[in-house]
Chain A
Amino acid sequence: MALTVERAGFVYGRGTAYSSRALDGISLTVSPGEVVLVLGATGSGKSTLLRLAAGLAPPSEGRVLVDGVDTAGPDASRLRGRVGLVFQRPEAQLFAETVAEDLAFGPRNLGRSERDARADADEALEAVGLDPEAFGRRSPFTLSGGEARRVAIAGVLAMRPAYLLLDEPTAGLDARGRAAVLGVVAEAKRRGGVAVVTHDAEELLPLADTVLVLEGGSPVFVGPAAELLARPAPLEAAGLAVPPVLDVQVRAVEAGARLPMLTLDPALAAEILAASVRRAR
């Protein structure tokens, strides 16, 4: 049981003068209860990878399997609702008169009964940390940025997908909104497999189990998040910012400090650095 991308490649406008390769030889596995982080600069092919994983486009090479079923195969229709994709700025897709109504859109499309759809909607709203009583009756156009983003994510969660794919879920939100969305990612991990695409490593690395770093459509790093934390060089290779907390520690090591580990937690990092200074005295 997993969502697997096997040596997939993708070419936009294949066979035309505008043909351009977006992905080349990407392999990735998202297992239930796991967060996979896909990092890459703008234009590195991250969003294309999510479209392939969600079955919205068939890969030009390789294949995408959801629980063993090929998304480009004859049984692909069985996968309806198995993979939930949350696009960039998903609040732009809210349309209904009330939040509850909007959230029930997906479950209804999957053919669930009116009662089940309502229950799914309420449950999804709770999952993103919003009170169904208070928010269900509101118009989606009166929500704050962070609330609208969470409602939009809930709209996908309401379909109860086994795998949730998120494209830049924290982009453009204030600190409170970002924290709330990170909470949603943690909650989604309890419900199934999660893949998150972003160019901002700092916030999501602590939540990630596995990381894939893309550069120009090709992988420059695949492995456990802890491994990337210990040696963050691939981030720079991919044109991404090394999180400042991590950068300070990397530079301290280069300057001769001996640190037992590298961490993204500022408090822990300060403690480790202080301890190393004490040892040096």
Chain B
Amino acid sequence: MRFPTGLGQYVPVPSPLHSLDARTKMLLGVALTAALFLVRGFAGLIALALVVAMALWVSRVPPRVAFRGLRAVALLLAFTVLVHALSLGAAHPLFRFGPVSVDSAGLLEGAFFGLRIVVLVVGTSLLTLTTTPIDLTDGLERLIRPLGYLGVPTGDIAMMLNVALRFIPTTAEEAERVVTAQQARGARFDEGGPVARVRAYVPVLVPLFVSLFRRADVLATAMEARCYRGGRGRTRLRESHMGGRDWVALAAGVALLSAIAATG
């Protein structure tokens, strides 16, 4: 029994992409997303796909791993392509099923939106594939720090992110323990319809929540016992720095992506 956490998919190989600051990669990810939604034609989309392919090659992440993220959106992908491909009463249908037909324009449109999803998912997974979860939360904290001037408790948000991240493996382990224990009491999790299956998880979720609340309580007390008074003014053991490479990569990346977005 495995609980999909979606995290921890970091691929530890040395590469120029891995050594960039998390903030650089996050901002480039945002730029890529914006560019993807700005391009209107295939030329721009394919240019962006090539950019992502280049980044993937530079990252030395096995393509098989990078494409794994697509499994989560497989249904969405299939649906997108189908919805665009199918039409009612097309002028020059390629083939038809009863009243519904498929024409080349719809097929092209489906391919365009499908490819956009593929490039988006693969491109953004590069961020989590080349950045450790800790670097990610550190980077996020630095990115949202200016919001502190608006009264947003950025330090506390960062601490919450860190603790949440730390609790993911613990929770998965705990869940697995409870599942095995209930299985030893004859519980079945793979039988019956969807409702029966959800119900079967009640004996897992109740103890899991109870133990998580207990754990959270103990952790909070332990943090207070070590004089935690909120995130304001905390210093870091490891300061991440935006180096020269980061600024160059960011500038070049944003320039390239805007150029494609503007012309494509």
Residues of A within 8 A of B (CB): 54, 56, 80-81, 84-85, 87, 90, 92-96, 105-106, 109-110, 141, 155-156, 159
Contact = CB atoms under 8 A, between A and B. Distances in A.
Nearest to A90: B181
Interface in B101-155: none
Contacts of A95: 202-204, 206-207
B177 A92 contact: yes
A106 B177 contact: no
A189 to B, nearest CB: 20
A92 B187 CA distance: 16
Contacts of B182: 93, 105
Nearest to A103: B185
Interface in B179-236: 180-188, 202-204, 206-207, 210-211
Contacts of A96: 203, 206
B183 A56 contact: yes
Interface residues of B, number: 19
Contacts of A56: 180, 183-184
Contacts of A85: 184
A87 B185 CA distance: 11
Residue of A93, A94, A95 contacting most chain B CB atoms (<10 Å): A93
Contacts of B161: none
Given A105-B182, A110-B186, 17 more contacts: A54-B184, A56-B183, A81-B186, A84-B184, A87-B181, A92-B174, A93-B181, A94-B207, A95-B203, A95-B204, A96-B206, A105-B185, A106-B186, A109-B186, A109-B187, A156-B185, A159-B185
B207 A105 contact: no
A212 to B, nearest CB: 21
B31 interface: no
B180 A92 contact: no
16 contacts: A81-B186, A87-B181, A92-B207, A92-B211, A93-B178, A93-B182, A95-B202, A95-B204, A95-B207, A96-B203, A105-B187, A105-B203, A106-B185, A109-B188, A110-B186, A156-B185
Q: Is the interface of B mostly helix, strand, loop or mixed?
A: helix
Nearest to A108: B186
Contacts of A94: 207
Contacts of A84: 184
Nearest to A110: B186
A95 B182 CA distance: 10
A81 B187 CA distance: 11
Nearest to B180: A56
Given A92-B177, A95-B203, A141 B184 contact: no
Nearest to B186: A109
| Closest A-B pairs by Cβ, 3 of them | A109-B186, A95-B206, A93-B181
B1 to A, nearest CB: 11
A95 B200 CA distance: 12
A87 B183 contact: no
A158 to B, nearest CB: 9
A92 B181 contact: yes
A100 to B, nearest CB: 15
B159 to A, nearest CB: 27
B182 to A, nearest CB: 6
A87 B207 contact: no
B210 A141 contact: yes
Contacts of B206: 95-96
Nearest to A54: B184
A223 to B, nearest CB: 29
A93 B207 contact: yes
A231 to B, nearest CB: 36
A87 B177 contact: yes
B180 A87 contact: yes
A267 to B, nearest CB: 39
Residue of B186, B203, B207 contacting most chain A CB atoms (<10 Å): B186
Nearest to A156: B185
Contacts of A105: 182, 185-187, 203
B27 to A, nearest CB: 35
A86 to B, nearest CB: 8
Nearest to A155: B185
A87 B186 contact: no
A141 B210 CA distance: 9
Contacts of A141: 210
A268 B129 CA distance: 65
A96 B202 CA distance: 9
Nearest to B174: A92
B62 to A, nearest CB: 15
A87 B180 CA distance: 9
Nearest to A106: B185
Nearest to B202: A95
A166 to B, nearest CB: 12
A265 B188 CA distance: 45
Nearest to B200: A109
Interface in B59-100: none
